[in-house]
Amino acid sequence: MSKSKIRVALAGVGNCASALIQGVEYYRRAEREEEAIGLRRLYLGGYHPKDIEFVCAFDVAAGKVGVDLSEAIFAPPNDTVKLVEVPKTGVKVLRGPLLDGVSEPLKNVIEVDESEEVDVAAALKESGAEMLLNILPSGAAEASKRYAEESLKAGCAFVNVTPTILASDPSWIRRFKEGGLPLVGDDLTDQVGATIIHKTLLEMLSERGVRISETYQLDVGGGTESLNTLERARDLKRSIKTSSVGSVLPYRAEVVAGSTDYVDFLGNRRDSYFWLRGLYFGGVPMRLDIKLSTVDGPNAGSILLDVIRAVRVALSKGEAGHVLAISAYAFKRPVKILPPDEADKLFEAFVGCG
């Protein structure tokens, strides 16, 4: 495949999609790595963020459907930070299939657009999209599966940003493999998210001889995504995060990691609390207590830019089925969880960084 534009479709035009689209614009003029503050790499697999083009998008919310993507990303209830003005894209958001996309508590916040749903696979094909990013709300399992189905039909690679178990499910892996298409996920890892910070802390302390006995990481956030997680995906999210965090310790310890509660006025902001107890030299006890404050949308941007470019690399290599090199680096629930530095090395070898 030549180094043509990377043609991306989006299912869900929420805060995460907003940060991603703004990010491509924000870094468009950066030429050197030093200018790309906030990115891990400006070039990846030979691609710059400006090589990404959004060619198709689906949503169900009135105020987003039928509107140019550049405006839909700022339509309520999206409330993430505005980084830049985004010029018109010429891509109108299409009415996707609703299924379980809007949960009970969100019915008060999101008015569902009344137009007919489109034929997703046909729209994907017509747009020339090579991959579909599933960025639906947490817990929208039926809708996520439907987009995976349409992605297969249209011959698109599928990226599952959500915690719905899909890219790590053997039957979906088999179907994408048979379809000759890459599949990556599940549940994106944030750039400076609580999971990676917690894992790094535990790994560093245990390598330095500290025996950690108990640790937790809990967070609070506002906005639609936190409300959804609280109502529909708290247990799933907790089990994904807890097994990801616990995987770095070479011994058993009490580990709890998960989202706890919804604080409406936080909007797209999130506060994460880390606590741990352990023993160091001579069995002397230690405790650690830290708080991290971030905004959700931009926390997904850098990793998503890496994932999109890496999926293009996977397509050009003819990869099919679950791509561990991408999933282990960028997602909390790949088929196999690797230690962070091993996942980084595997990813870099796969994409041929720079």
Cα→Cα distances 268→75, 232, 242, 297, Å: 14, 18, 23, 7
Question: CA 129, CA 124: separation in Å to the nearest integer?
Answer: 6
> Number of helices and strands (H, E) in the chain?
11, 11
Give 225 or 319: the residue with its C-beta nearer to ligand NAD.
225
Residue 296 binds ligand NAD (CB under 6 A): yes
Q: With H, G, I as helix, E, B as strand and everything else as coil, classify residue 347.
A: helix
Length of the chain: 354
Residue 224 binds ligand NAD (CB under 6 A): yes
Residue in this structure with the two tokens 């690679």, named with its chain if needed: 157
Residue 159 binds ligand NAD (CB under 6 A): no
Q: Which of 6, 24, 60, 324 binds ligand NAD (CB under 6 A)?
A: 60
Contacts of ligand NAD in 39-58 (CB under 6 A)? 58
Residue 16 binds ligand NAD (CB under 6 A): yes
Give 112 or 210: the residue with its C-beta nearer to ligand NAD.
112
Q: Are 27 and 19 in contact (CB under 8 A)?
A: no
Question: For 247-289, where are the alpha helices, taking DSSP H only?
Answer: none
Residue 101 binds ligand NAD (CB under 6 A): yes
Reading phi first (left if > 0) and then psi (alpha if -120 to 50, else beta), residue 315 is in alpha
Q: Are 298 and 80 in contact (CB under 8 A)?
A: yes
Q: Binding string, 171-210, against ligand NAD, x = CB under 6 A? A: ----------------xx-x--------------------
Give 232 or 322: the residue with its C-beta nearer to ligand NAD.
232
Q: Give me the residue whose beta carbon is nearest to ligand NAD.
A: 14
Residue 297 binds ligand NAD (CB under 6 A): yes
Q: With H, G, I as helix, E, B as strand and everything else as coil, classify residue 35.
A: helix
Residue 113 binds ligand NAD (CB under 6 A): no
Q: Are 310 and 57 in contact (CB under 8 A)?
A: no
Question: CA 196, CA 345: separation in Å to the nearest integer?
Answer: 16
Q: Which of 45, 49, 96, 221 binds ligand NAD (CB under 6 A)?
A: 96
Q: Is 251 exposed, middle or buried (0-12, 13-18, 19+ CB in 10 A)?
A: exposed
Give 276 or 299: the residue with its C-beta nearer to ligand NAD.
299
Q: Binding string, 252-271, against ligand NAD, x = CB under 6 A? A: --------------------
- Of the candidate spans 10-18, 38-46, 194-202, 246-254, the one that interacts with ligand NAD by CB under 6 A turns out to be 10-18
Question: CA 72, CA 13: separation in Å to the nearest integer?
Answer: 7
Q: Are 185 and 97 in contact (CB under 8 A)?
A: no
Supply the angle between the helices 296-317 and 340-351 in degrees, to the nearest 10. Answer: 50
Give 246 or 297: the residue with its C-beta nearer to ligand NAD.
297
Give least dist CB 224 to ligand NAD, A.
4
- Of the candidate spans 159-167, 204-212, 273-281, 312-320, the one that interacts with ligand NAD by CB under 6 A turns out to be 159-167
Binding site for ligand NAD (CB under 6 A): 11-17, 58-61, 64, 78, 96-99, 101-102, 110, 135-138, 140, 143, 161-163, 187-188, 190, 224-225, 296-297, 299-300
